[in-house]
A and B are shown apart, each in its own frame.
Chain A
């Protein structure tokens, strides 16, 4: 359920994105000059630290508010670590740590990577695919320590960064913590662990993906109605209509399942079995939708959609890249399958029906 405040916060976000991150403008701006004023506007509105309580330096927005912002962000698919900074602030708050200003990211960003917090308060570990690590000033780290799961704030410059790129060209780096001393660290709230972090990341990526899919559907339908071939708009051909109807189906599934997962988190902010089913399903289904939809959209656009000049790749490539963050669809499907197998056939339908 969307509340009144969702609309207000998401409305503020939508105006900032429209004013500072218009896809056509960004696409022509090779130097990235749009980034500074855009980030300033986001910061002035308190969005990067939306999920940080006021006493820890943030704006204390609800999970629902923040997820509504990320749905808007998905529709613009910008190459800036807004989702990552929000998630990092949220992670720091799981251990009562204050959040710094500026850009942040999260590590680990893959379920099988591990970071260790030694008894001496020193971090070690090597993690892959950390989004925007080379662009972020700080990294919020989840680490396993002797006394339990801990959260730490690290300056990026204290880590070794081996740069990598997603298909969209965004930084996705290997971060090595070679005896790194964090700026601050503390034990996480009881029950919080790396699985919970991955589930949160999966809901975030699913909500962003659904927003991006909405944009792709809207762009594709508009193009099919404009582009004339064989003396008709291509959208008048049944073969094209069938493809766009399939695209709409994928977008619908992604919207419904990501919305459901977001609603679940917003309603009960706990990483229990219900959240696991919802979040894992959302990541699986949205990733599958990404694969299908990117293919259909490019097919509709033909050659023009394959150019750097056209904005389509900004959406499709980022959508495809997000599949790999916080556990891809194969990983979560195996986890979900193992869970359901343990649960057994007789308990399976009651689980589905409980949502």
Chain B
């Protein structure tokens, strides 16, 4: 517990810049071929299986994982470059992104050998979509209130209950889910949850869509009725998931996706303002640039410190706290800064379409993957206040 915050000055090494050019060329070709439109986020298929396979073929999924599981043993900074370039281009990566960022690393750590050998190479080839099963109708931020039960039966576990807000569940091949295997104890309310790998084709699983206020279908409710999961699909310690849940979070919280989600409206703002903006717009734009640069330098720093084996838990949480609030406010700020533009500016239609989409997406950014309030609790704990 300390108030000493650390941000090592990490600059991306030369091999990252070669890789970046490679990624940009690939994305330019995909855009030219009509795979996606970088100016229209929220349009088109966000789960593009064929596209994910082409990304896998380039070696850009599971980049940091061991070669024997189909990975490429590259650095986290190289993965960082790929992630940020895909995000800035608004490329559809939902199909493999969760597996690449979160699920794969958990399997690497806790899955038995034959499961690693079976599943990880398929993730790397861009063939598998994962869903995270944590929230339930009665438990969201309070993960340890989960009630969906896994009951021990002969050769496996029988699951009953439901998970909610499960992004990707309607297209996912596997879930990594948190299920109750014992009651919490008086001493430890976090005790009694176990992490399982669940094949989404298992009989007894129903996926019901929940449409978001953007009009998109991403959320689902996943209902388990006597779904049978084999013994070797237990990930880690029975009843001890609480010990496993926190270690990977710094990666999940500090990546470029935590501040670039609405970045496209900033590019469109620059197009709308033209080369000679008035002083008010120039100042507004400059403040946004300074924030973006600061966030990216923090985020790269956390990636570099993780690569070096450090554990910047507080710093990672701060990146997500500041980054998500910034990307949430960004469309509103862009709206203000374009208030005095002439009606005939060339990109008005694109700008307005993007602003409408970004404005409807914005509220979720400070909720998903750890709410602002939860993050600040973690930061306060790190400072020595709890």
Residues of A with Cβ closer than 8 Å to B? Answer: 1, 214, 217-218, 221, 224-225, 235-236, 238, 240-242, 244-246, 248-249, 251-253, 255-257, 259-260, 263, 277-278, 280-281, 284-285, 288, 329-330, 332-338, 340-342, 344-345, 348-349, 352-353, 355
Contacts and interface: CB of A to CB of B under 8 A. Distances in A.
A260 B9 contact: yes
Interface stretch (B45-53, B169-177, B292-300, B355-363): B292-300
A252 B385 CA distance: 17
A310 B88 CA distance: 48
Given A248-B314, A255-B7, A344-B270, A285 B294 contact: yes
Nearest to A260: B297
B5 A248 contact: yes
Given A249-B322, A257-B297, A338-B277, 4 more contacts: A245-B380, A260-B297, A341-B276, A352-B293
Contacts of A245: 321, 375-377, 379-380, 383
B298 A256 contact: yes
A129 to B, nearest CB: 20
B293 A257 contact: yes
B350 to A, nearest CB: 11
A336 B85 CA distance: 23
Interface string B252-287: 000000000000001110110111110101111111
A263 B293 CA distance: 14
B3 A281 contact: no
30 contacts: A217-B5, A218-B3, A241-B385, A242-B373, A244-B380, A244-B385, A248-B314, A248-B379, A252-B322, A256-B297, A259-B7, A260-B297, A263-B11, A281-B290, A281-B293, A281-B294, A284-B286, A285-B290, A285-B294, A332-B286, A333-B282, A333-B287, A335-B282, A336-B290, A337-B284, A337-B289, A345-B267, A345-B270, A349-B88, A349-B267
Interface of B: 3-5, 7-9, 11, 20, 81, 84-85, 88, 266-268, 270-271, 273-277, 279, 281-287, 289-298, 301, 314-315, 318, 321-322, 373, 375-377, 379-380, 382-386
B320 to A, nearest CB: 10
Contact of A341 (B9, B273, B297, B322): B273
Contacts of B8: 1
A342 B376 CA distance: 38
B285 A337 contact: yes
Contacts of B298: 252-253, 256-257
A340 B289 contact: yes
A333 B279 CA distance: 10
Nearest to B269: A345
A241 B380 contact: yes
B9 A1 contact: yes
The 4 A-B residue pairs with the shortest CB-CB distance in the complex, in nearest-first order: A333-B286, A337-B282, A337-B286, A336-B286
A253 B322 contact: yes
Contacts of B301: 256
Contacts of A333: 282-287, 289-290
A257 B294 contact: yes
A235 B377 CA distance: 11
